[in-house]
Structure formats: C-alpha cells, structure tokens
Chain A
C-alpha cells in the first residue's frame, strides 16, 4: 500500500513553524517510514503530484499568491491544519491590519526614516504578488480542519498531531501542549 502523503507550506510566516517541525529530531526517521512528502519546502517539490492526506499551513494570507497556494492546498489535502499563531490569527504580519494599506506602503517606501528611494516609486511589478487589504488567518480564506496553536507550536505538539491523524485517531491536545506563545 502506498504511504499517505503530507504537504507543507509557509505563507505569511517566518518559517519558524517549519523549524519547529524539524525539531522532532530523530522522530523524522520514523515519520519518513510512515509518510511521503509531497509539495513542501522540506523536499523542495514545488507542485502537487497527487492527493495528500495532511496539509500543514504555516502563516496567514497577506497577498494574492498566499491565497492561491492556500486554495491549492485545500483542493489537494484531505485534512488541512493551521500551524502556529500566524496561520491561526495572522500573527506579527497582522499588526498592519489596523493601519490602511496605503499608509503601510508610504511608510515602507517613501517616508520611513531609513528609506533611500530616489525615484519615489512604490514597487508595482506584475511579478510581485499584490498585497491584500489586510492579513487574513487561513481559516477566514478556506476551511481548516485542525489548529495547532503556538509561536511556534512545539515539536511535540506537531508530532502528537501527525501521529494521531496518521493513526486515524481524533486530535485532542493535552493541556501543556495548548500554548499561544
């Protein structure tokens, strides 16, 4: 029987959740026996090769590319999990949410104290994904099945979740593993 597949991505996140994932240490050898990785920075596969059992989402959506990737994950994964504060609540990137986008861009490219920008232009190339009006948690864009809180969630939390789901058990985190920081 083919092994179930896991996909992961980092949207508007810092890759800290992926680092925490790698922090499962030698358990990663056990994991490799249980699953294959599909689209993920872990193996650098850029496009889905087929159906996945679990998709891990780090980060919320701050631009249109994030939205497309997230929708692609929803379309390919049976179980989609928001991993970490940014996917669940927007996190640090969402600190801009109370500030109008125009003001953010003006501060970043024109008015900030350390800006050097002689042409006084705000980047606007079609290669650069358009920013959204604000940062959206993943579950406000697509349906998310489970949430692993933390900044980042500990390796134990991620391990607990993956092994439960791979064994067809419900995901029920014990008290010490539910942390928002």
Chain B
C-alpha cells in the first residue's frame, strides 16, 4: 500500500510516504534543506548536522528523521540559519581550506553552502592544523587538509564500489580519514572511476591531471546557489 500523509515545513503543506525521511519528502516537494554528509545514493550518516531542522520544536537531522503525519518542521528560520552558518564556519577553521588554489573551488559543496548562507568570513579563529596528503596513487590523491569527515567516501566505497577503501581512524580532534591498506592509497584497489572519488563533496579526494578544467563562471555554483535544482521543482508548476 502506498498511502501518503501530510505534514508542514515552514507552514507549507508537504506530502510524505511511509519510509521516507524528512529530507526525501522535502526534496520531492521542492524544498531545499541544506546538507553536507547526505548524498542521494548513500545511506544517511547524520553526522554533519547541517540538515538540522526543528521537528515539533526539537532539533533533528532531516536526513535520518522519518517523515510522519502531522509533524511541524521548521527549516528556514533565523535560529537554524545561525546554527548552520556556525557549523560551516567551524568546518572552515578546523581544516586548511585555501580555496584560491583548490581544484574543487566552484564545485565544492562546503564552499557553496558558505556562499548560500552569505558567509564572507568565519566567526571562529582559524586553527591551522597540521594535516597530511597522500599522493602515492597514480590517478587519485587525498588531501586531508580539506577533509570534513563526512564519511561519503567510506559509504560510497563500501556500498557502491564494493571495495571498502576508506575508513575513519582516531577520535575527536584526532579523527581522520584513512585507507584500508598497510601504508598508503597506492596499496588499495581504489581506482580513478570509483564512486568514492566523485562522492567527496570537497577537494579532499581528487583525480590527478584534471586541474582547473572548468572555466570560472561555468562551474557548478558560480551563478546559482546550491539547492537551486531542488527549489526549481517547486517553482515549476508542471512538475
């Protein structure tokens, strides 16, 4: 049976189906809930908290919380914008994000969220941590300076590539992305075409010899904010 129910997001009535998360129902309704660690083809992780919404007044991650009849969801409020901006701010200062020479710039989801939120400078002090880079593999590299620990590569490698190349090690501030091999990325069966590579939302896992292939002005988030594709569903009355 496929009975639907309704609930509201910022006062707008939205249709949901049993088994759907709030984020999935919102996407179908053309309402964008900002996110980083969530990815349409991957099991939700609920770790970045950027998709935090208030459900009947309580904070929940929209990527993991099931949609349910009659719930009242708050998404685009001043309070939530402040929380999300702060999360994005912290991701910037916790790593080393030198956007001007990053090959991902213009196509990076972290940067795109900062643009969407109108962030011109972080409010927290920069930490400038010492992080390393693994360029041992002939076709791809990991730059841990830019890793935001979203776990998308871990899930994509395990569930889409069937390889299990990536894994987290350490805890708290010492947590980092590692590879399931004796020493380095070159010792794994990771390949240039792996979904794990394209799943990385930032410039932490990149293909070599691509460089700055797309001219400025034509990159993914140059003209329209991240989430515009989802919001277009709502704007188009024929869908």
Interface residues of A in 138-170 (CB under 8 A from B): 139-140, 144, 146-149, 151
Are B128 and A134 in touch, CB under 8 angstroms? yes
Which of these binds chain B: A48-56, A84-92, A112-120?
A: A84-92
Which of these binds chain B: A29-37, A62-70, A93-101?
A: A93-101
Contacts of B119 on A, CB cut-off 8 Å?
178
In angstroms, Cα B97 to Cα A118, docked, is 38
| Contact of A178 (CB < 8 Å), options: B96, B101, B118 | B118
Are B99 and A85 in touch, CB under 8 angstroms? yes
| Shortest distance between the CB of A18 and any CB in chain B (Å) | 16
Q: Which bracket fits the contact residues of B?
A: 20 to 34
Are A149 and B128 in touch, CB under 8 angstroms? no
Question: Given the known A-B contacts A85-B99, A178-B115, A180-B99, are A90 and B126 also in contact in the complex, defined by CB atoms under 8 Å?
Answer: yes
Looking at chain B's contact residues, is the secondary structure mostly helix, strand, loop, or mixed?
A: loop
Are A181 and B106 in touch, CB under 8 angstroms? yes
| Shortest distance between the CB of A122 and any CB in chain B (Å) | 23
Are B128 and A178 in touch, CB under 8 angstroms? no
Question: Given the known A-B contacts A98-B96, A180-B99, are A173 and B120 also in contact in the complex, defined by CB atoms under 8 Å?
Answer: yes
Looking at chain A's contact residues, is the secondary structure mostly helix, strand, loop, or mixed?
A: mixed
Question: Given the known A-B contacts A97-B128, A140-B126, A181-B216, are A147 and B99 also in contact in the complex, defined by CB atoms under 8 Å?
Answer: no
Contacts of B116 on A, CB cut-off 8 Å?
175
Q: Map CB proximity to A onto B91-112 as digits: 1 under 8 Å, 0 otherwise.
A: 0000011111110011000010
Interface residues of B in 166-191 (CB under 8 A from A): none
In angstroms, Cα B99 to Cα A151, docked, is 9
